[in-house]
Amino acid sequence: MINMSRRDFVKITGTGLALATLPGFLRTGFAANSPGGNPYGFYFKRFGIDDDTIRKVMAEALHYGGDYCDLFFQNQLSNSIRLRDNIVSTASTNVTLGVGIRVLKGNQTGYSFTEDVSLASMKAAARTAAGIASGSAKGVPETFNATKLMNYYDTEMSWEDVGVKSKVEMLQAINDDVFKEDPRVVKASVNFADSENYILVVNSEGGIATDYQPMLRISVACTAEQDGRRENNYFDYSARDDISFLTPERLKRLPREAVARTVKLFEAQTPPAGELPVVLSAGSAGILLHEAIGHGMEADFNRQGISVYSEKMNKKIAEPFVTIVDNGTNPHIRGSINVDDEGYPSQETVLVENGVLRTYMHDRISAQHYGLEPTGNGRRESFKHYPMPRMRNTYMKSGPHEFEEMIASVDYGILADQFTNGQVNIGPGDFTFYVKSGSLIEKGKITAPIKDVNIIGNGPEVLERVTMVANDMKMAEGGWTCGKNGQGVPVSQGMPSVLVSAITVGGRG
């Protein structure tokens, strides 16, 4: 039985801050009511900086005539803890602190970072980044003005105040439930990770923004045996939230889903091969959007003219009931951000409106190239990396059809339920996603389970073949991470149930 109130998680170890709840200025996102009258005073203190320090570093960054510079300060605290073989005997913590300094000259980027936030080190890094330009020094702002932001992940409690002992008990309770769920389970593992990311970004146009970004991920995996066969599967949750996310209902569902997903695989048949109709279940199937259109709509690829979508703006690319957005404002969803890593407020960006391509996802460089406002998609993995246009939460809005109607319309095809990974070639538009688990559809009915099959298609072609969209949009629940040019950022995606009339299924039949 798992039943823990938030109170049970209050830290009992002696380390960390002795706070019962997060201070208000972190909870509001916008730092207006932080102590001392300075709206970003908490962050200045955390990084040991002030206006004067920033100006001195910026003066170095613009020493050779760069058009623009920004400083990205970051302090991230991460914890993870793991149960295997019935004991919680592995835990880890990671602390990083540093500042990344970027100088732009036209479309050119100079970048450097330092893990030592002393003035001398920052000035040295700034001088390195400055080298992208070659001219005479530019001036720096007199004052910095805080950007007004919303808070899409209000939390009450810091992860620093959640004790290890209570996490150990939580993992144990989940493990007990996994084994109670089905006698075929022979191994279970439970992983729990939390992190807190404090960022401050300030630029040479005088803009300054701060954010407190909490995150959690919990996953349960198990292996089951039946008639000498073994199968393994998992279920996970991720959210920008505090410990209150882990309600008794969610803690009970984790082991139940993990086991159900695993033992279902024993019934699976060999998946079919070739071009078939595919129904995608609502939820994490949004991976199709992430790969088929999301990356191709990141404006850097379009600015360079190398995306399959480079000449598609304002053209019809899908049926009129298809609307696709990339949204950074969904409450507590993994890919949400109050502000992007260039300091621009987050927003809902409509990529495809009623079947027509409307907007790419922009960072500062691409927005300037196109003469548009940035869309809040400038993201980076950490202070060690420069920002690029990146997705946040990418999803299709609900449409006019019914799930049952889609299934009934398929004579022979598959229903894809669980997804693990995907990939795309931006230029030709070919993309894939891997279906861990699904079912056959035969003569309008869901029949035998299938498993472990890759699906491959071409982005623009597949969007044209989305012939039905149901009214059941759902966001993914798990912890998705998007990789681009060696940088990983947390994202999410969502999808109503949809029917793709034909796509290549990598089976063997």
Of residues 33 through 72, those in contact with other proteins by CB under 8 A are none
- Residues 2-21 touching other proteins, rule: CB under 8 A, are 13-16
Do the Cβ atoms of 2 and 180 come closer than 8 Å? no
Nearest Cα neighbor of 416 from 318, 497, 487 is 497
- Residues 296-315 touching other proteins, rule: CB under 8 A, are 304-312
Do the Cβ atoms of 376 and 360 come closer than 8 Å? no
Q: Is 369 helix (H, G, I), strand (E, B) or coil?
A: helix
Phi–psi pair at 90, nearest 5 degrees: -135, 130
Q: Cβ of residue 42: shortest distance to other proteins, in angstroms? A: 19
- Residues 162-191 touching other proteins, rule: CB under 8 A, are 163-165, 168, 186-187, 189
Pattern 188-227, binding to other proteins, x per CB under 8 A? -x---------------------------------x-x--
Q: Cβ of residue 68: shortest distance to other proteins, in angstroms? A: 15
Q: Is 429 one of the binding residues for other proteins (CB under 8 A)? A: yes
- Selected from 23, 41, 65, 131, the binder of other proteins by CB under 8 A is 131
Q: Cβ of residue 230: shortest distance to other proteins, in angstroms? A: 5
- Selected from 248, 428, 483, 488, the binder of other proteins by CB under 8 A is 428
Q: How many Å apart are CA 382 and CA 389, to the nearest integer?
A: 14
- Residues 326-365 touching other proteins, rule: CB under 8 A, are none
Q: Cβ of residue 329: shortest distance to other proteins, in angstroms? A: 29
Other Cβ atoms within 10 Å of 417 Cβ, number: 22
Angle at 403 between CA 240 and CA 411, to 5 degrees: 130
Q: Cβ of residue 436: shortest distance to other proteins, in angstroms? A: 8
- Would you give the distance in Å from CA 36 to the centre of its chain? 34
Q: Is 506 one of the binding residues for other proteins (CB under 8 A)? A: yes
Other Cβ atoms within 10 Å of 1 Cβ, number: 9
Q: Cβ of residue 17: shortest distance to other proteins, in angstroms? A: 12
The footprint of other proteins on this chain (CB under 8 A) covers a number of residues equal to: 91
Phi–psi pair at 312, nearest 5 degrees: -105, 0
Q: Cβ of residue 97: shortest distance to other proteins, in angstroms? A: 6
- Selected from 28, 38, 109, 467, the binder of other proteins by CB under 8 A is 109
Which letter, b or e, does each residue of 358-379 get, where b requires 16 or more Cβ atoms within 10 Å of its Cβ? bbbbbbbbbbbbeeeebbbbbb
Q: Is 422 one of the binding residues for other proteins (CB under 8 A)? A: yes
Phi–psi pair at 370, nearest 5 degrees: -90, -5
Q: Cβ of residue 191: shortest distance to other proteins, in angstroms? A: 13
Residue 13 or 244: the one with the smaller Cβ distance to other proteins is 13
Q: Is 364 helix (H, G, I), strand (E, B) or coil?
A: helix
- State the pairing for strand pair 273-280/378-379: unpaired
Scanning 65-73, 174-182, 420-428, 490-498 for contacts with other proteins by CB under 8 A, the matching segment is 420-428
DSSP string, 337-350: -SB-TTSPBP-EEE
Q: Where are the alpha helices (DSSP H) in 354-458?
A: 364-370, 403-409
Q: Is 277 one of the binding residues for other proteins (CB under 8 A)? A: no
Pattern 83-102, binding to other proteins, x per CB under 8 A? -xx-xxxxxxxxxxxx----
